[in-house]
């Protein structure tokens, strides 16, 4: 079997900030970058309106809200920083797809059961509730776990 992973081609890394830790979590922000063997070549970032959680029946966990409040307090920020320039979830997913492009790329996240799973659920909810033809831009075969890669190569000298 030939590996799909190729650093000479563009790959995508996705990192979400959420308001819960379940597959139906409300997304607070979508951060992503495209990278190849030269490093990061493009970035994407959008804050999501909390009202999207209600519209798309996404989970908000009070304990996670408390966690965010503690994080911001330690950094000297306010909760307002989490919602600055926020947009609706449907618009954010549409803009993400525009940024991502038409071809499926190897798409990484830190954990096989978090970011990509939550994104997949968000696409489903937006598509169903708003009756939009919007889908995740990566082929399910191209979703890979960066945490696994880090564990596999943790003891290789010179790798960070």
Q: Would you say 101 and 137 are in contact if contact means Cβ atoms under 8 Å apart?
A: yes
pLDDT in tens, 99-155: 999 999 999 999 889 999 999 999 999 999 999 999 999 999 999 998 888 787 777
CB 53 within 8 A of CB 26: yes
Q: Could you read off the pLDDT of 29-45 as tens digits, one per residue?
A: 999 999 998 999 999 99
Sort strands 39-47 and 106-109 into parallel, antiparallel or unpaired.
Answer: unpaired
Write down the H helix ranges in 56-158.
Answer: 62-75, 80-83, 89-100, 115-129, 146-152
SS3 of residue 104 by DSSP: coil
54-108 residue pLDDT tens: 999 999 999 998 998 888 878 777 667 777 899 999 999 999 999 999 999 999 9
Mean pLDDT, the chain, rounded, equals 90
Q: How far apart are CA 104 and CA 94, in angstroms?
A: 15
Handedness of CA 55, 61, 62, 66 (dihedral sign): negative
Structure token pair of residue 14: 């996705």
> 36 with 61: CB under 8 angstroms?
no
What share of the chain in percent tops pLDDT 70? 91
The total of other beta-carbon atoms located within 10 Å of residue 99's CB is 17
Contacts of 132-136 spanning 24+ positions with Cβ under 8 A: 132/90, 134/90, 134/93, 134/94, 134/97
The Cα 95–Cα 45 span in angstroms is 10
147 sits in the region (left: phi over 0; alpha: psi -120 to 50; else beta) called: alpha
SS3 category, 32: strand
């Amino acid at each position: 079997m030939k590996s799909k992973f190729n650093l000479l081609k563009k790959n995508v890394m996705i990192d979400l900030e959420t308001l819960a830790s379940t597959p139906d979590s409300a997304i607070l922000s979508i951060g992503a970058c495209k990278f190849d063997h030269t490093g990061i070549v493009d970035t994407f970032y959008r804050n999501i309106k909390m009202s999207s959680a209600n519209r798309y029946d996404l989970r908000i966990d009070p304990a996670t809200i408390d966690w965010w409040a503690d994080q911001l307090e330690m950094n000297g920020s306010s909760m307002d920083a989490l919602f600055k320039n926020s947009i609706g979830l449907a618009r954010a997913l549409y803009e993400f797809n525009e940024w991502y492009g038409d071809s499926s790329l190897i798409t990484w996240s830190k954990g096989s059961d978090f970011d990509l799973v939550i994104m997949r659920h968000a696409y489903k909810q937006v598509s169903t509730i708003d009756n939009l033809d919007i889908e995740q831009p990566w082929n399910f075969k191209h979703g890979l776990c960066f945490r696994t890669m880090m564990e596999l190569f943790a003891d290789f000298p010179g790798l960070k």
